[in-house]
């Protein structure tokens, strides 16, 4: 392995058709909604004939959430909207279509329910850690804009973490994959 720095929105720094498998996940917070078809096309470009592309993206909201979690989600959607990112479930619902439109075959789609919280074991613990970090970053952005007090942010994060355990919060994840014609 070697580390290569690149920007998917500007094109990957690889020749055409060099990878057997291209895996991309959870870039919903970094790819503007209108760029998704082009970005998936770029992933397909660097995949060799007969190779596979796999995408994984979450739905915008979770299941079994409480009021603090819902408030943090609304704040995150507000920031996402201001950046031109998906604020609905357009990407979640379109991963398989993006792959087909990019010319892949044998396209499959699965939807997974992932636990958020210690109640969900190791996966749940990782998911809770990721979601807390994402919510904390949104709170930092809003604090910098003077739209959220630090004390309120700390309390929202504490309550959301508690809600994950009490409500058995679930995240939905779509995974789609397909094969490049050979």
Distant-in-sequence, close-in-space partners of 125: CB < 8 Å, separation ≥ 6 = 117, 118
How far apart CA 41 and CA 20 sit, in angstroms, is 15
Is residue 155 pLDDT above 90, yes or no? yes
Of 121, 142, 5, which Cα lies nearest the Cα of 76? 142
Task: Tell me the average pLDDT across 83-94.
Answer: 96
The beta strands (E) that lie in the chain are given as 19-25, 47-58, 105-115, 170-179
Determine what percent of the chain is predicted with pLDDT higher than 70: 100
Q: Tens of pLDDT along 41-68?
A: 999 999 999 999 999 999 998 999 999 9
What pTM did the predictor assign? 0.91
Q: What's the mean per-residue pLDDT of the chain?
A: 96
For residues 165 and 51, the answer to whether their CB atoms sit within 8 Å is no
Give dist(CA 131, CA 137) in Å, integer.
10
Residue 2 has pLDDT above 90, yes or no: no
**Max Cα-Cα span within the chain:** 57
Using CA atoms, how far residue 87 sits from 51, 78, 105, in Å, is: 31, 8, 29
Q: How many CB atoms lie within 10 A of CB 136?
A: 15
Q: What integer is the mean pLDDT of 132-142?
A: 95
Share of the chain above pLDDT 90, in %: 97
């Amino acid at each position: 392995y070697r580390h290569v720095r690149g920007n998917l929105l500007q094109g990957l720094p690889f020749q055409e058709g060099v990878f057997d498998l291209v895996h991309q996940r959870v870039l919903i917070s970094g790819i503007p909604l209108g760029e998704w078809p082009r970005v998936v096309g770029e992933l397909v470009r660097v995949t060799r004939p007969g190779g596979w592309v796999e995408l994984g993206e979450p739905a915008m909201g979770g299941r079994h959430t409480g009021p603090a979690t819902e408030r943090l989600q609304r704040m995150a959607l507000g920031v996402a909207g201001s950046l031109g990112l998906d604020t609905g479930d357009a990407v979640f619902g379109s991963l398989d279509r993006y792959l087909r439109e990019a010319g892949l075959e044998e396209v499959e789609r699965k939807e997974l329910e992932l636990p958020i919280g210690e109640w969900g074991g190791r996966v749940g613990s990782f998911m809770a850690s990721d979601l807390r970090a994402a919510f904390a970053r949104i709170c930092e952005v809003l604090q910098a804009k003077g739209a959220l007090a630090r004390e309120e942010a700390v309390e929202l994060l504490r309550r959301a973490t508690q809600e994950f355990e009490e409500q058995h919060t679930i995240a939905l994840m779509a995974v789609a994959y397909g094969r490049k014609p050979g």
